[in-house]
Amino acid sequence: MPFVHELLKYRSVAVVGMEKNCGKTECLNYILRRLPSDGPGVCVTSIGLDGERTDQVTGTAKPEIILRSGMFFATSETHYRSRRLVSEIVDVSGETTALGRLITAKVALEGKVILSGPSSTLSLKRWMDSISGFGIGLTVIDGALSRKSSASPAVSEAMVLATGAALSCSMPALVDRTAFCVEMIRLPEVEEQKIPEEQTLTVSSMAQEVELAPEVRRVEVSGALTDRLLARLLTERRLPEIEVTVADFTRIFISPENWRRFVRAGGRLRVHRRTALLAVCVNPLAPNGYRFDSDLLCRTLSDKIQLPVYDIRRQCEDEA
């Protein structure tokens, strides 16, 4: 797939699932298998927990994470002890988590591992800075929209989005929800022009009222942009003259319906840091056994978002 080679243009990429059982781990394994062995060093971690044989919530079987020789990985002490591969420890973090210190190691003999990496965005950033001297050219982060800070541009430069039937058994609903997420990821960046401080109003999602002085041209949202805050902004007659900004797409928690109202009213929303979306992957099979037609799902979603969409499982079967 073309997007696998696109990853090499970035120093960090997050593989992010919109919901459990959307095929995120299969997508991660697919990427790891196809990254060139003679390319830059690759390190893998997770901001949550991934690679276990059975889902701790649903009890369903899950694909395990397989790492090739020469790759690096970071996981907790607890899960490092349970690894099923041969590896050499290259770093032990001074930070502790509920599962022990963070271990960074290099794989000597291919095998399987459970990833339970840094527990916060700040810890993840510090860890990424700490491994820069090990010849690692690409860091791959396992993430999910429930922990979507892992896909923040402040942490990863690019992302691959995984969606599927687990999100909805209605194809129109699945396509619409995924397309809305993609639209938020693709929001334009704030233009470089400097707006004078007196023309900028900073508000929080908890603000009880938003009063725009006549000279205000930009509303900076500190924290999350919520439906409640968006509803307040929609009452402003001068909304078409105002630029609303957030740090990045991970700070946006609004409904598609309210977003459409905002756009129809002339509202403009921009981000300070934009993530490069490289690809969207789908899993047409839901945990309850419901299955979409793969070709129809990929084609319908691709037409909607104007981006290639891949069924990873089918791709693997076709290549076998």
Report residue 243 CA to chain centroid gap.
25
| Residue 231 vs residues 127, 136, 153, 176, 245: alpha-carbon distances, Å | 39, 45, 27, 22, 15
Query: How confident is the model at residue 117, as a pLDDT?
Result: 87
Order of strands across the sheet that contains 243-246:
200-204, 218-222, 243-246, 268-271
CA 164, CA 167: separation in Å to the nearest integer? 6
What global pTM score does this model have?
0.89
Mean pLDDT per 10-residue section of the chain, whose length is 320 residues:
84 91 90 86 88 69 90 95 95 86 96 89 87 91 69 79 93 97 95 81 82 88 92 90 92 95 96 93 90 96 95 72
89 has which bridge partners? 105
Query: How confident is the model at residue 38, as a pLDDT?
Result: 80
Alpha-carbon torsion (267, 268, 274, 276), positive or negative? positive
Alpha carbons within 13 angstroms on the beta-carbon side of residue 315 total 18
Query: How confident is the model at residue 177, as a pLDDT?
Result: 96
Token pair 């022990």 is at which residue? 100
